[in-house]
Each structure stands twice: as structure tokens, then as C-alpha cells.
Amino acid sequence: MSKPVAKTNVARLLDAAKIPYELVPYEVDESDLSAIHVAAQLGEDVDRVFKTLVLTGDKVRNFVCVIPGAMELDLKKAARISGNKSCDLIPMKELLPLTGYIRGACSPIGLKKPFPTYIDETCQLFPSIFVSAGQRGLQLHISTSDLIRYASLTLADLTL
């Protein structure tokens, strides 16, 4: 019998909002925190496992992009959609103080403060997707429409 999964802040927020979800544990490999590895551990299509990236721009200081795990973020598209001329990923050392999450566990739900957040439009191809549940080794399986609505995500073309 497997041990019960501890509730994360993400799960508590969704519980309070009465939004259904599933917490799905996976084996963490500290040397490979990629969404591709996570998808393999889950036995899921990597296109349904989304990663959360935090960026900084020249006009809109901080914003978030949520993209399919195997895809690469197009920084020009991200800058344009967020109202910036240029943008880049925030330095790793800023991730925890800014979001409350560590690398490999950043979720679009429950960030320390609200940031403009964009999700790649390919999410609409799936009735449900996976995003981090806020800790390494735990994914959140949630209805795509519930995630978009609850986290106030804006659909956009974000990938190369």
C-alpha cells in the first residue's frame, strides 16, 4: 500500500475553490528535473505535461509562461504577448524569493503574488493537463479549462 500524498499549498487552494484535481507522485531525479523526465515517470504524453517558467521583461517586470514540457519558449513571442520589447528567464537564485517555489516545482497556482500568466494555446488540445503541484515529485492533474479559469491564464502562442 502506498503512503498518502501530503497536500501542497496548490492542493489546499484548489480544495478551497472546490476545483477537482488529482495529485500524481513521481520519482524525482535531481540530475534531471526536466518535464520530459517527469512525463516519462508518469507514463504520460510529454505534450500534456506543462512546465512553468518565470521571466522578467524590460517593461512588465515579471510574468509567467506555461508551456508543453518538450517545447522551447520563444522569447520574442513571450515578450510581445506580455507587452515587453525583450525578456529573459529570471536568474535561478530569484525563483524561490519571487515565487515561493524552487526549480522543478514551480506551479502557475499559488505564486507568492499574482503575475501576468500565459499558457501555450496547445493546452486546448487536451481536456486535462499536468502542471507542478508545488513540490518536486508531485504533479497536479487538472482540467485544462479549470486551470485556465482558476489561475487566470491567458492563451497564447509561446513556443518555437
For the domain 21-156, what is the CATH code? 3.90.960.10
pLDDT tens digits along 33-48: 999 999 999 999 999 9
Spatial contact of 100 and 135, defined as CB atoms under 8 Å apart: no
Q: Where are the domains of the chain?
A: 21-156
58, 123, 128 from 50: Cα distances, Å: 25, 9, 11
Residue 4 has pLDDT above 70, yes or no: no
Cell of 104: 522543478
Share of the chain above pLDDT 90, in %: 95
pLDDT attached to residue 5: 73
Residue 6: pLDDT band with limits 50, 70, 90: confident
Q: With cut-offs at 50, 70 and 90, classify the pLDDT of residue 65.
A: very high
97 burial (CB, 10 Å; 0-12 / 13-18 / 19+) is exposed
CA dihedral 89, 95, 67, 142 (to 10 degrees): -170
Is the pTM higher than 0.85?
yes
